[in-house]
Chain A
Amino acid sequence: MSHELPLRPTPAAPDVLGGLSPRLALLGVLALIALVHLPLLGFQFVYDDGWTLVANGFLRAPGDLALLFSPEALARHVPDAFRPGLVVFDLLTYQLLGLSSPLHHALSIALHLGVCAVLARWLRVLGAPLDLALGTAALFGLLALHAEAVAVVSYREDLLAALLGLAAALAASRGRWLGAALLSLGACAMKLSAGAIPALWLLAEGLSPWRPRPPAARLARGALALALGVAAVLVYTVALYGALDPYGADNLRVYSHRVGLGPVLAASLPIHLSYLQQMLVPWGLSPEYTDHGAAFTDPATLLAGAALLALAGYGLACARRRPLVALAILGAFALALPTSNLFPMPNMRADRFMYLPSVPVCLGLVALLLAAGRRLSRHVPEDMWLVARVAPLAAVVVVQGSVRVAAAAVYRDNSHLWGVARERAPDSARAHAALGELVVRNVPADAPREDKALAFARAEAHCRNAERHDPRYELPQLCFARLAAAREDWPAAERRYRTALAVSPDRNAGIFAGLAEVSLDLPATPETTRTDLARRHLAEGLASYPYSPELHATAGRIFHRLGDPEQAQVHYRRSLDLAPERPEALLANIDLLLDLGRPTDATRLLLQEKTAWLAAHPDDRTALVARHRDALRLFEPSMILSADPVGVLAHEP
């Protein structure tokens, strides 16, 4: 069928869209894509959203933004510091949208629509016919494999990289070299997966499927402009991290650091063949995949390698006679390169990695489906001609869109996400550990003892499974530590937290907080040792993670327990500043003020922090209101009348 693909420009070819305005048609396609994405507005923050948005105190400290471009960003463990553009974008959107999940999801949908619009525009500038450009935008916009990238707020890094990367390609195709360089810089500052955009642009302009090839000098200038943006971000990464790998050479989350690059690359071959299958037939999508190695002599590796090699060879062979086929195949290979595990990656496989590489695949697939439609239209009556032309493309878009909606539903909340992740990747340590922690967290404090014991046993099964699947990973240890803390088995919790800290390369604020908290309760340990331990863990944690609201809230609680109200208040205040939406620090601070006999200060604080107050559990609020009333009755009159001994005595029972 591929012989029917357009080989060279065919201006006289009949247009399936008749005299429809291209802008209006594109708006219609975008409206369809937006409509299909509406359910996302009801989704919560999941996955890495907690780390990059919900609990990222750096976003609440815009005054510290300049630190992002200095080694301090690493010293203070600013999340995603090696993607400075993304951090700036997150900071701006947090300041504008707060922590409203519907608004952040709406923004992700808008970015995705932007990618589709820019893609269609770029194809038109390259000379592609309107039906091909619109069909590609529609298929890309509804491709089931993109469910993860659009449904998870923090994965807008992929959307932003694609949006700016394709805009850079569009600018280069229009000869706007400065704009191309700046947009390419912006794209790579969001995520370095956009580093392959210059290759895609060169392929699109060099193969030039729809118009005469531009002169070599123009190609060189465009590629240079786009490559300059990529180079700038690479230089920035090396300057900040001392290497191209921002994850660190001893980071055990990068599987190639455990087993070597060879086994990871061998396993990557079947993974990439699976990606292709998922793009063509949306089956086997998952929020979680387990990292694994393979041998180059494994039958699956050999077969997948041969298939990919044959595909790449076919793409090269098509360069002269079928440039569109060559662009679809070679473009996908080029765009998949940054996430192909050749470079260190904390996940070997994820659906979102194919967001940008699916662009040329969608283009090739739509060209194929339109060609199939043309062939089909020859065998139907004239009044069915139009329907037959678009029927194959429409059928594929409907199937992809239907699976897309269902696949996106997996990401609506964390418990659902990790439940499905465990089903799809039963040997995933991360899925089991996350489920174990969710089970522990969801046990009500006032649950009957038998119910608690059952829930803890269930959580322990998840923790054990997680540890069995990956004993060198911090999450199973954290699962055990939090379970032990819930069971008030402080020595076990302390031991597990220490083990977690020993293997964890990053994101350790929670571990330091846990260690400090359980240290205070260690049995058979002198009080001075326990308080020294707690203070030491706190100091170490706060020095490394000064933007962690969780760590500051823990520090407040610990100083509160140690009888240091000034320090406790400082940390509660800082925690509230770093996460004004989280109620823990506010409730604890009100508790502290009531302990100090200052109910009017507690009222004032509550009125200042209404958002956090309303986010607290109603039971906690009711309990505090009752305490507050008691405090007002007990303390405040005596404070007011303290200058008058008679008045004080008058209130004596």
Chain B
Amino acid sequence: MSRKFFTFLLLTALMIAAGSMACLQTVEQFDKSDETDSAT
């Protein structure tokens, strides 16, 4: 049972890593945004 449980946790971690990359792309857009127009 413990092997199944820890495999499940590992899979969860991998899925979070993959999911976070998709979410991070949104955050990265803020990095690249040019604020010259919006600030003024």
Q: Which residues in A have some Cβ–Cβ distance to B below 8 Å?
A: 17-21, 24-25, 28-29, 31-32, 35-36, 142, 386, 390, 394, 397-399, 401-407, 409-410, 416, 419-420, 422-423, 426, 432, 435, 458, 461-462, 465
A489 to chain B, nearest CB (A): 20
Mostly, the A contact residues are: helix
A416/B31 in contact, CB under 8 A:
yes
A250 to chain B, nearest CB (A): 32
12 contacts between A and B (CB under 8 A): A17-B1, A21-B2, A29-B9, A32-B13, A35-B13, A36-B16, A397-B16, A406-B23, A406-B27, A423-B33, A458-B39, A458-B40
A20/B35 in contact, CB under 8 A:
no
B12/A397 in contact, CB under 8 A:
yes
Q: In residues 6-28 of chain B, which contact A (Cβ within 8 Å)?
A: 6, 8-9, 12-13, 15-20, 22-24, 26-27
B39/A24 in contact, CB under 8 A:
no
A21 (CB) vs chain B CBs: closest residue: B2
A19 (CB) vs chain B CBs: closest residue: B1
Q: A18-B1, A398-B19, A403-B19 are in contact. List 9 more A-B contacts (CB 8 A).
A: A32-B9, A398-B12, A402-B15, A402-B19, A405-B16, A419-B35, A432-B39, A458-B35, A461-B39
A402/B39 in contact, CB under 8 A:
no
Given contacts A19-B1, A20-B2, A25-B5, contact A422 B13 (CB under 8 A): no
Chain A residues in 8 Å Cβ range of B38: 422, 426
Chain A residues in 8 Å Cβ range of B15: 398, 402
Of A17, A18, A28, A403, the contact of B23 (CB 8 Å cutoff): A403
Chain B residues in 8 Å Cβ range of A409: 24, 27
Chain B residues in 8 Å Cβ range of A403: 19-20, 23
A398/B16 in contact, CB under 8 A:
yes
CA distance A142 to B8 in the complex (A): 16
A17/B5 in contact, CB under 8 A:
yes
Chain B residues in 8 Å Cβ range of A419: 30-31, 33, 35
CA distance A36 to B6 in the complex (A): 15
B20/A422 in contact, CB under 8 A:
no
Chain A residues in 8 Å Cβ range of B5: 17, 20, 25, 28
B20 to chain A, nearest CB (A): 3
A138 (CB) vs chain B CBs: closest residue: B12
B22 to chain A, nearest CB (A): 7
Chain A residues in 8 Å Cβ range of B9: 28-29, 31-32
Chain A residues in 8 Å Cβ range of B20: 401-406
CA distance A18 to B24 in the complex (A): 36
CA distance A75 to B1 in the complex (A): 61
A28 (CB) vs chain B CBs: closest residue: B9
Of A21, A386, A420, the contact of B27 (CB 8 Å cutoff): A420
A244 to chain B, nearest CB (A): 39
Chain A residues in 8 Å Cβ range of B2: 20-21, 24
Chain B residues in 8 Å Cβ range of A404: 16, 20
CA distance A443 to B21 in the complex (A): 33
B26 (CB) vs chain A CBs: closest residue: A406
B10 to chain A, nearest CB (A): 8
Of B1, B12, B22, the contact of A32 (CB 8 Å cutoff): B12
A420 to chain B, nearest CB (A): 5
A410 to chain B, nearest CB (A): 6
B9 to chain A, nearest CB (A): 5
B27/A20 in contact, CB under 8 A:
no
B35 to chain A, nearest CB (A): 7
CA distance A394 to B1 in the complex (A): 17
CA distance A416 to B6 in the complex (A): 36
CA distance A407 to B23 in the complex (A): 8
A423/B30 in contact, CB under 8 A:
yes
A24 (CB) vs chain B CBs: closest residue: B2
Cβ-closest 5 pairs across A and B? A402-B19, A406-B23, A405-B20, A401-B16, A18-B1
